[in-house]
Amino acid sequence: MEEKKDCCAQEERISMPLLGDKFPNMTVQTTRGEMVLPEAFKGKWFVLFSHPADFTPVCTTEFIAFQTRYDKFKALNTELIGMSVDQVFAHIKWEEWIHEKMGVEIQFPIIADTGAVANKLGLIHPGKGTNTVRAVFVVDADGIIRIILYYPQELGRNMDEILRVVEAMQFADKNKVAMPANWPNNEIMGDKVIIPPAKDVKTAKERLEQAKTGAFECKDWWLCYKKI
């Protein structure tokens, strides 16, 4: 009997989404009405970010920081959507407080979760009740999860970094290249981007010869980069 229970528990367990997975279809209640994800953002990238709770200090600074950069996200064809296990009226009152006390109007939707969304995405903080971790899901225009970031409750996120990774992924997709550390301010190559390494002997031998034409620069056949 016990073995049967374990079997059923395994069958009912929902796996967390991984990089490259389609974002799970879900209907959510938000401060901007009911939405179906990822369909609501079809043709756009979106950043879904969870926060532990409304009316908390770090989360308040994060929402102000996201709103301050909202136009920059939209310029990258990217929408924002927040989330926590709080009722919608709590979100609305918190938005009002931020507007009244901090002079910032939150213009993106916030999901009012009952726990179903958080459990499906693996966002419940271990040992802290229904509080969600500070997670970030970057989803592309086809609804594919491209980046997942997790932060502890004690650490506020760097929104400029989230902007950077969205821009970098879009740039990499468009130009079929890879991005160096700290792009566009890499210590070796500045804002140049990395050409995918050679995958066969012939290409490896040709790579350094091609670099002599000035089309790109190489430190070796496996480390070549160029300006775009």
Give the residue numbers marked as catalytic.
Answer: 59
Nearest to 62 by CA among 135, 146, 126: 135
For 40, which DSSP code?
G
Helix (H) or strand (E) holding 23: none
Helix locations, the chain, DSSP H = 2-12, 57-68, 70-75, 88-102, 116-121, 159-175, 201-211
DSSP state for residue 54 in the 8-state scheme: S
- Cβ count within 10 A of residue 76: 16
Q: What is the rounded distance in angstroms from the CA atom of residue 176 to the CA atom of residue 47?
A: 22
User: Parallel, antiparallel, or unpaired for β 193-195 and 134-139?
Assistant: unpaired
Cβ contact 23:37 at 8 Å: yes
Half-sphere CA count of 79, side-chain side, radius 13 A: 17
The strands making up 193-195's β-sheet, listed across from edge to edge, are: 193-195, 223-226, 217-220
